[in-house]
Structure 1
């Protein structure tokens, strides 16, 4: 139950000849038994519709859910839910198209494409598009890791502040720095990132999915409880008002924040960049695309239900003053232990989600290095370490150094830009159009040989252009938000 990039079967394996593989795994690799597929590659494909759905839910129900009440508050009761459903539809529709691109040229019997870039190469073939896909996908994965570091630290700080408020009163300053918590999260990720075969940590995705359900349910429950206490629904048809009174925005501020909210919702639905890798874990028969379509339906419907209920209940509870982060903005103070537990669940979930999004990037760098220097002992040699409660863990010096540098880099950038809504919005805007919309549509058009200017072609291309405009607008709004935040922030010194 793990994404192909998670498994990280030793890169040495790719350098052995087919005859060596046919006679068994190379010496030192017998600890990673797997099945030899039709491409003479060793893989562990044991995934089902439920394991794939779990991976999707782990990837999708993350920090994005916490900003939805704020996002709806920017647009109001009519536009907010409509936009949320629009993103759900687009994500599901294009993911169905992408599922058919796992094998090519035939979606059932064709050659496997084990990564998103492989699918681009097989279905489009133009080097510039392959390069653009790789650049956007892997920078987006890196940026998502930064966003998860920020979110995990904010949740950890919220636990500390909640305890402070409980002991000192709701009006106590309780200012705390995010930096130690970001550093601690980074240390944990360095440890987990050293596991080369994520298939042996399949439980991490299960735990992460359970945690995401848990804190989402707690947030929903707290919102319903607060709503009952208020005895009326809050919020307006058009969201936060324009004017000069307290809590109102100027026209420019209103426009920027509406655009930023689009990026936040796009981020909440982003998982297409790892869909191919998830599909590569599925066993067959039945055909992988059929299983993946069912898993996508389960994943998107489940997340949309949570998103719609949490976003709308949060907005109904807090109205136009909905916090940017539902569980850390201290709209809820009590019961403080339950708020603390929800934030702890967020941290645990993001430990797993960080790996879900980082492992594909780890894989592409290590596979490139393996091919570039096929005889390098530094890159290929494995040192076996016996880890209690885990078993034999192969450590590789290149993997140890490179992955550690990666985690440190994401941690430092998170410390420099610890702005939850703005960073989440920017990451969502950056990756939504190319990875969720453009490439799946273009690959599908090419694979199915859809004739230009037919009704189907016009419909797909119109959707692509419309989503491009949304991504550009959301990106501009998020960048404006970061610029404004930087005016009031001192790196490594500002506390919250």
Structure 2
């Protein structure tokens, strides 16, 4: 009997009402939003989304929309101001098509070696390892951790700007729109850092699903508020000064300046579409019949199409409302106008969203160092032992490391508090490796596409073209950072 039980478990022959076709727990589509799960030894990385029903393509579509729409919408009006009506619209649609194409390739990599009957890869990292091997697997892990570190800095900047916008809107409401009402951002960065240091000591923060659900609601609320405020501003004041090509060249804004801003805007758009590396986790919520790859392809088409329409609304309406003077974060621009309470609500939503999102993103980085340290020094009590302080379990490694991380990210944010340039750099660093290169290479390996065949060549051409776009976006954003630093006094950021 014991042998028989063992064989049935190993072969996945368990009760069909509890287990899936490969012996794992049956998928129901129930996940926790924004939950990153990390394992040091295997560079395991996953990002899961809220779900409350059976796993079908319709619910996977909702996952994708939730995944795509987030803080990336904040800079789209600014992108249109740099690119103009035609190039801005084409850029959004083009990034949408490229993201959709690579996502469709990625759906066939969920199972290996066969896309229908092969072994499940429950995470993006698992798919990379199964199709491309351990070396590429580790490279993918490095790329993801680098991006997460950068996003932590970006979230610190964004939250401080939104906090400052709340204070400014109250100042304008009290003293009138002609008042300066300038606010130093550093104090808000410090407040944000203190909160993050406290939250970082909460064990298994990434598993607190109520906070994750709230964060998802917040992201939708501030996006819709931004669209509503843009429409209201257009109705009250008419369409702002816009143009086909965006910001016009003038004496204090040369053609070279416009080129660099255009490159940086490409990075911002790329950041808005960076979601491919969680697609496998979303696909893992689908039932095995019909085949997951077929269902996921339908979800991908509908999800990205809906997200693109939403992005176009934010970009087009934001640009129409502010014109060529569109701010980097379009919600902060409404601080000059009534209703101030709605502006405050939108920025409060951003703050709440990013307070939780910061911790979710930081968990894999925290886990990497802590797990590695425990493996390296298993006998060191400062690393392994939990101490009780006022009823709270404190680990010295966790306290020192996580506190140091938050402080370091905050200091960098104070030195480089430039929202659009930082977002552009993040988009440039994320888009090509995680949204283009790995999906294409995995599909080539999965489908056994012959090297130097027509299909192989044009896929490599697409990958190379996206690499060039990412590089110019990175150069433009880096140049923007360097230029801004030259005229900026460190730790003197003002809204």
Scaled by the length of structure 1, the TM-score of the pair is 0.82
* Pair 396,111 (structure 1): closer, same or farther in 2 beyond 3 Å: farther
Match of 2:310 in 1: 306
Whole-angstrom distance in 1 between the partners of 2:299 and 2:385: 37
* Pair 55,107 (structure 1): closer, same or farther in 2 beyond 3 Å: same
Whole-angstrom distance in 2 between the partners of 1:283 and 1:196: 30
Whether 1:141 aligns to 2:148 is yes
Q: Determine which of 69, 87, 98 is the counterpart of 1:90.
A: 98
Indicate the SS of the match to 1:240.
coil
Whole-angstrom distance in 2 between the partners of 1:188 and 1:100: 42
Deviation at 1:196, TM superposition (A): 4.2
* Pair 44,93 (structure 1): closer, same or farther in 2 beyond 3 Å: closer
CA-to-partner distance for each residue in 1:158-181, whole Å, 9 max, x for gaps? 000111111112122222111121
- Residue correspondence of structure 1 range 73-84 to structure 2 within 5 A: 73-84=81-92
Whole-angstrom distance in 2 between the partners of 1:488 and 1:267: 26
Match of 1:2 in 2: 32
* Pair 303,369 (structure 1): closer, same or farther in 2 beyond 3 Å: farther
Whole-angstrom distance in 2 between the partners of 1:331 and 1:466: 40
- Residue correspondence of structure 1 range 242-261 to structure 2 within 5 A: 242-244=249-251, 249-261=253-265
Structure 2 gaps of 5+ residues are 1-30, 43-47
Whole-angstrom distance in 1 between the partners of 2:211 and 2:412: 25
Match of 2:445 in 1: 446
Indicate the SS of the match to 1:241.
coil
Deviation at 1:195, TM superposition (A): 4.2
- Residue correspondence of structure 1 range 4-403 to structure 2 within 5 A: 6-7=36-37, 48=55, 56-57=64-65, 59-113=67-121, 115-125=123-133, 127=135, 129-198=136-205, 200-232=207-239, 234-244=241-251, 249-276=253-280, 282=285, 284-286=287-289, 289=293, 293=297, 296-297=300-301, 299-330=303-334, 332-373=336-377, 378-381=382-385, 396-403=395-402
CA-to-partner distance for each residue in 1:188-215, whole Å, 9 max, x for gaps? 3334334443564122232122111111
Q: Is contact 1:5–1:277 with CA below 8 Å preserved after alignment?
A: no
Whole-angstrom distance in 2 between the partners of 1:111 and 1:365: 30
* Pair 3,442 (structure 1): closer, same or farther in 2 beyond 3 Å: farther
Deviation at 1:357, TM superposition (A): 2.6
Whole-angstrom distance in 2 between the partners of 1:288 and 1:319: 44
Q: Is contact 2:147–2:430 with CA below 8 Å preserved after alignment?
A: yes
* Pair 194,331 (structure 1): closer, same or farther in 2 beyond 3 Å: closer
Q: Is contact 2:260–2:479 with CA below 8 Å preserved after alignment?
A: yes
Deviation at 1:90, TM superposition (A): 1.7
Indicate the SS of the match to 1:329.
helix
Q: Is contact 2:425–2:473 with CA below 8 Å preserved after alignment?
A: yes
Match of 1:410 in 2: 409
Structure 1 gaps of 5+ residues are 15-42, 388-392
Whole-angstrom distance in 2 between the partners of 1:45 and 1:224: 30
Scaled by the length of structure 2, the TM-score of the pair is 0.82
RMSD: 3.4
Whole-angstrom distance in 1 between the partners of 2:434 and 2:121: 16
Deviation at 1:60, TM superposition (A): 3.3
* Pair 232,330 (structure 1): closer, same or farther in 2 beyond 3 Å: closer
Whole-angstrom distance in 2 between the partners of 1:485 and 1:456: 43
Report the more deviating stretch, 331-340 or 256-265: 331-340
Report the more deviating stretch, 430-439 or 99-108: 99-108
Indicate the SS of the match to 1:6.
strand
Whole-angstrom distance in 2 between the partners of 1:330 and 1:4: 29
* Pair 57,198 (structure 1): closer, same or farther in 2 beyond 3 Å: farther
Q: Is contact 2:239–2:323 with CA below 8 Å preserved after alignment?
A: no
Deviation at 1:119, TM superposition (A): 3.0
Report the more deviating stretch, 400-409 or 332-341: 400-409
CA-to-partner distance for each residue in 1:351-394, whole Å, 9 max, x for gaps? 2322343233334334434444456555555678999xxxxx97
Match of 2:474 in 1: 475
Q: Is contact 1:2–1:198 with CA below 8 Å preserved after alignment?
A: no
Deviation at 1:115, TM superposition (A): 4.7
Indicate the SS of the match to 1:492.
coil
CA-to-partner distance for each residue in 1:25-75, whole Å, 9 max, x for gaps? xxxxxxxxxxxxxxxxxx999884688666655553232211111101111
Report the more deviating stretch, 431-440 or 191-200: 191-200
Q: Is contact 1:74–1:258 with CA below 8 Å preserved after alignment?
A: yes
* Pair 289,138 (structure 1): closer, same or farther in 2 beyond 3 Å: farther
Deviation at 1:333, TM superposition (A): 1.6
* Pair 385,95 (structure 1): closer, same or farther in 2 beyond 3 Å: farther
* Pair 362,111 (structure 1): closer, same or farther in 2 beyond 3 Å: farther
